[in-house]
Amino acid sequence: QKEVEQNSGPLSVPEGAIASLNCTYSDRGSQSFFWYRQYSGKSPELIMSIYSNGDKEDGRFTAQLNKASQYVSLLIRDSQPSDSATYLCAVSNSGYSTLTFGKGTMLLVSP
């Protein structure tokens, strides 16, 4: 069974700090990796996708992928209170189109 594991948190960081969110996955055949942000009571919003080993940067967000270690991370630089949300890691196998999600990590950024 495919599994995606995340620390449920909450992860508390002060405003302006770097928040580091981690995710591990069990299926070595996984090819596509995503981070979604979900505010309380709202639906998930795609913020990053990564497909190859290494880093991918988009604004204040950096996704990191290490397929050998089956590990994905998301760094948020200069964290803002508006970044306070649950961050969901999702993984897809190239043979399938469906996503397997972790339970999410709650991030709290204090002013």
Partner 1 sequence: DTGVSQNPRHKITKRGQNVTFRCDPISEHNRLYWYRQTLGQGPEFLTYFQNEAQLEKSRLLSDRFSAERPKGSFSTLEIQRTEQGDSAMYLCASSQAGSRRTEAFFGQGTRLTVV
The residues binding partner 1 (CB under 8 A) are 4, 8, 31-32, 34, 36, 42-46, 49, 51, 88, 90, 92, 94, 96-104
Rounded to whole angstroms, the Cα distance separating 11 from 31 reads: 27
Query: DSSP assignment, residue 82?
Result: G
Give the list of residues 6+ apart from residue 41 with CB closer than 8 angstroms, or none: none
What tokens does 47 get? 């913020």
Q: Which is nearer to partner 1, 22 or 32 (CB)?
A: 32
Tell me the closest approach of the beta carbon of residue 49 to partner 1, in angstroms: 5
Q: Which is nearer to partner 1, 42 or 77 (CB)?
A: 42
